[in-house]
Amino acid sequence: MANVTIIGAQWGDEGKGKVVDWLASRADIVVRFQGGHNAGHTLVVGNQTYKLSLLPSGLVRGKLGIIGNGVVIDPQALLAEIDRVRAQGLTVTPETLRVAENAILILPLHGALDRAREVARGERKIGTTGRGIGPAYEDKVARRAIRVCDLAEPQVLSDKLDELLLHHNTLLAGLGAETFDKQALLDQLLEWAPKILPYAEPVWERLDEARRAGKRILFEGAQAVMLDVDHGTYPFVTSSNTVAATAASGSGMAPATVGFVLGIAKAYCTRVGSGPFPTELHDDIGRKLGERGQEFGTVTGRPRRCGWFDAAMVRQACKVGGIQGLVMTKIDILDGFPEIKIGTGYRINGRAYSYLPAGQMAQAAAEPIYETLPGWSGTTRGARSWGELPAEAIKYVRRIEELVEAPVTLLSTGPDRDDTILMRDPFEG
């Protein structure tokens, strides 16, 4: 049996939470391996809606959840999220949730710096969530970050805060923002310590034992390939690597354990925040997609920009992200459109491209090359077998498979966890 890694194949918000929840019934462990509480996964289970940012989605299925070392953790956000889902009836204890002891912590000063920088950028802002994810990753690679394990060592916390504040208070003062007091931060960390440390352990050891025992592991990615700090639409990206290879480094496992890689893509395309979006629609069709799909960011609440499916971008994401099979979500939102367009490439300054170049000006100038397909009059909503789909909807899916050069292995036809058509079980490899 194979492990499975789930990543986004567009700009995030593709519906990964529902897919992880659905696949978690076949898994033993669900692992978050990158990102922070800028991620947002919405799961609809009966009359309950769970909005998760740091907690692995498998907790909703009663599975062991692991937050890997590649995740940056805001202690206050994590504790608040645990309290919130407990109030909804979920069991979250050190028996059901484990946190990598070497994961990086996000402190209040990280969010303050994140927001101050966005203000300073003015019209050229990146569109971050302002939650401190980027500055926390900066501290990680600069080797001055505070980690979960440091919460058990007050002297280490004190020494690290000296270095952190020397750096961050200088930047905050230069940006005209309020600086931070060491003792107040130290007191806050020591208050969080007994609440966080019971969850902490060397999760790589537990995962290795699970691998040896033949357990099924589901790796849950956040954001998406086109937001990858190396491969995405830089600088309008997240601060971590979002490709499947990060499932290994972000959890402490070997690359071979990543298993079958599923890429999640909406049947159309959305994006939150700034940055290029070649197939974006500013007309009634774009508004209709947003209204039908209830397109608002899970974390930010910001309305998502909407447009047609960009097959050239998803093909690029499949190649650099290691995607072996595609999950298409929200096909029901396209029900009733008389015609549907698919972006097949770009025209940039008079030249045709089959991929989105790395240059910032080139990306901004990219105009989509479209292929038009007929829509369908029937409904796909709630379909749970291939035979229930309208013929034109099937043709649409098949055409996307050809253009992205990857098979559609799952099709989501509605918000309910069982509104899903399975063509191939990814756990079978």
Amino acid, res. 283: D
Tokens coding 240:
């971590």
Q: Please state the separation of Cα 4 from the chain's center in Å.
A: 15
Cα-based angle 83, 5, 128 (whole degrees, multiple of 5): 60
For the question of residue 282 being annotated catalytic, the response is no
β pairing state of 41-45 and 29-32: unpaired
Q: Which helix (DSSP H) or strand (DSSP E) does residue 115 occupy? A: helix 108-121
Instruction: Please tell me whether residue 262 adopts helix, strand or coil conformation.
Output: strand
Cα-based angle 192, 198, 203 (whole degrees, multiple of 5): 115
Could you write out the three-class secondary structure of 11-50? CCCCCHHHHHHHHHCCCCEEEECCECCCCCEEEEECCEEE
Residues 246, 240: Cα–Cα separation, whole Å: 9
Which residues 6+ apart lie within 8 Å of 246 measured at CB?
33, 34, 70, 221, 240
Catalytic residue among 13, 139, 150, 332: 13
Please confirm whether the linkage preceding 235 is cis (ω < 30° from 0): yes
Name the residue with tokens 């600069």.
142
DSSP 227: G
End-to-end CA distance of the chain: 7
For the question of residue 41 being annotated catalytic, the response is yes
Tokens coding 4:
């499975």
Residues 71, 105: Cα–Cα separation, whole Å: 9
Strand runs labelled E in 102-209: 104-105, 200-201
Which residues 6+ apart lie within 8 Å of 164 measured at CB?
107, 109, 139, 144, 146
Strand runs labelled E in 106-238: 200-201, 217-220
Tokens coding 230:
């190396």
Q: Please state the separation of Cα 342 from the chain's center in Å.
A: 23
Catalytic residue among 21, 37, 41, 139: 41
Cα atoms in the 13 Å half-sphere on the side-chain side of 112: 17
Residues involved in catalysis: 13, 41
